[in-house]
């Protein structure tokens, strides 16, 4: 089972902080379990690992097999929570180089998460000479980045296969009953999957939003859900031996003690997009009302050669959360060099995992000595079940953390500010006055 270890935390916090926070954690626990707190209508993810729709799950598995049989590529069109979780799981369990590997499953391309013409064109070129399908993911169907990208890939499908055959290659993950994408999908006869009303985007990786692309890549999504269910039962019991409670309590206490940045670190480059998913989860959930830790991430040991100096001796504004994924799939041992020109024969015969773990321990000791508190999240390994545990753990701890802060962990009102300005500057009908005002400011 996943474990949270607090390394020499007595250097940074009064040892009684957990007991002092127990009653507040219990209140947050009750809000999550019953949906009675702020944003409670979006806590459907809390019991999802056991209450998920089995019929839709079977359709996800069937669709994944169909895509695997008729497509060499799947284009996933989505932004934010509509793609980060799926990409994180695929990279972590299948490799960041998944699309470059020899395999029996389709390449998976993620697009619609920006506004780069070059990125769109490159992906269009990559799928132009292969059979491909599209999974468009949007609750409303009107979010600018994915909606624009979908126009390009729908057009490419229809030019390649004709309108009717193209429709059999489009899978829409959207609202169950309303919205522009749902209406279009129903009119065109595309297969649809549901973005649940009671689950916000950043908590949706264990719904069809994440599960269809993950299954297409060949990941065992039944094991993924089983791992999440195991962690769900642990979190439902609560208490200070619950890893989500321990993590939420420590990071909140450190925040109250003046820490303003949380660095998520991992010693496996395959974890990079899981870190990106984590950043959205915590940034959107906590960053409001002038509150919240700023979530950042680093890839160790690579970033020790770029960010290590600041972490060690810069402003003491951060805490560090280190994710340990366990043993690697490959057991590589350092070869002996007869000349020993690099002076590393003392490592000959040692595994790369052994060297990595000593590097992690040395960094842990150095950073703690340098005044950076360290929390260690120890996963059961790099398997679907272990990653399911980790996903649910971070989600649950995030909900607890939001309630400890006194904010609604399930809304994101600030996200709309840039959209209104962008719509005005693009000339969207109804924004004429705002456009005039904004252009005047830009031209000062």
Give the number of other CB atoms < 10 A from CB of residue 271.
Answer: 26
State the virtual CA torsion across 410, 413, 418, 422 in degrees, nearest 10.
100
Active site residue 419: yes
Give the separation between CA 220 and CA 131, rounded to whole angstroms.
Answer: 24
| Order of strands, sheet of 374-378, starting from the edge strand that comes earlier in the sequence | 3-7, 374-378, 318-324, 261-266, 294-299
List strand residue ranges (DSSP E) for 92-163, in order: 107-111, 132-137
Of 400, 392, 52, 417, whose CA–CA distance to 198 is shortest? 52
The yes-or-no answer on residue 284 being catalytic is yes
Cα angle for residues 426, 125, 272 (degrees, 5° grid): 80
C-alpha torsion angle, residues 415, 419, 420, 426 (rounded to 10): 170
CA 372/CA 322 separation, integer angstroms: 12
Provide the residue count of the chain. Answer: 444
**Rounded to whole angstroms, how far apart are CA atoms 171 and 70?**
14
Catalytic residue among 11, 103, 291, 419: 419
- Which one is catalytic: 284, 286, 320, 395? 284
**How far apart are alpha carbons 105 and 93 in whole angstroms?**
14
Alpha carbon distance 32, 402 (integer Å): 11
Q: What are phi and psi of 72, to 5 degrees?
A: -95, -10
Helix (H) or strand (E) holding 208: helix 208-216
What is the DSSP secondary-structure string of 263-309?
A: EEEES-GGGHHHHHHHHHHHHHHH--TT--PEEEEEETTGGGGTTHH
Catalytic residue positions? 284, 419
């Amino acid at each position: 089972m996943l474990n949270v270890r607090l390394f020499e935390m007595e250097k940074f916090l009064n040892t009684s902080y957990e007991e002092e926070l127990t009653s507040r954690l219990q209140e947050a626990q009750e809000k999550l379990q019953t949906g009675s707190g702020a944003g409670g209508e979006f806590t459907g993810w809390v019991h999802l690992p056991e209450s998920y729709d089995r019929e839709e799950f079977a359709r996800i598995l069937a669709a994944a097999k169909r895509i695997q049989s008729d497509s060499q590529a799947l284009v996933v069109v989505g932004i934010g929570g509509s793609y980060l979780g799926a990409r994180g799981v695929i990279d972590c369990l299948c490799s960041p180089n998944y699309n470059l590997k020899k395999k029996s499953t389709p390449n998976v391309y993620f697009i619609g998460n920006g506004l780069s013409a070059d990125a769109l064109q490159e992906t269009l070129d990559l799928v132009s000479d292969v059979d491909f399908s599209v999974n468009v993911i949007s609750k409303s169907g009107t979010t600018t980045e994915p909606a624009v990208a979908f126009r390009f890939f729908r057009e490419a499908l229809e030019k390649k296969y004709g309108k009717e055959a193209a429709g059999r290659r489009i899978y829409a993950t959207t609202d169950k009953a309303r919205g522009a994408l749902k209406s279009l999908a129903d009119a065109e006869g595309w297969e649809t999957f549901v973005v649940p009303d009671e689950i916000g985007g950043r908590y949706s990786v264990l719904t069809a939003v994440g599960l269809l692309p993950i299954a297409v890549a060949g990941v065992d999504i039944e094991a993924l859900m089983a791992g999440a269910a195991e962690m769900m039962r642990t979190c439902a019991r609560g208490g200070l031996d619950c890893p989500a409670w321990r993590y939420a309590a420590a990071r909140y206490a450190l925040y109250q003690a003046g820490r303003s940045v949380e660095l998520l670190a991992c010693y496996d480059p395959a974890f990079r997009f899981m870190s990106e998913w984590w950043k959205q989860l915590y940034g959107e959930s906590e960053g409001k009302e002038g509150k919240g830790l700023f979530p950042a991430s680093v890839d160790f040991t690579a970033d020790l050669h770029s960010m290590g100096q600041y972490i060690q001796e810069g402003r003491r504004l951060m805490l560090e959360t280190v994710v340990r994924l366990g043993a690697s799939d490959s057991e590589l041992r350092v070869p002996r060099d007869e000349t020993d020109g690099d002076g590393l024969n003392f490592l000959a015969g040692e595994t790369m995992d052994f060297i990595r773990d000593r590097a992690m321990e040395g960094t842990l000791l150095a950073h703690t000595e340098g005044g950076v508190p360290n929390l260690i999240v120890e996963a059961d390994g790099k398997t679907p079940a272990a990653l399911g545990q980790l996903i649910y753990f971070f989600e649950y701890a995030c909900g607890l953390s939001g309630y400890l802060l006194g904010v609604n962990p399930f809304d994101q009102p600030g996200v709309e500010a840039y959209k209104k300005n962008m719509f005005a500057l693009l000339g969207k009908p109804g924004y004429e006055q705002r456009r005039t005002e904004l252009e005047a400011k830009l031209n000062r």
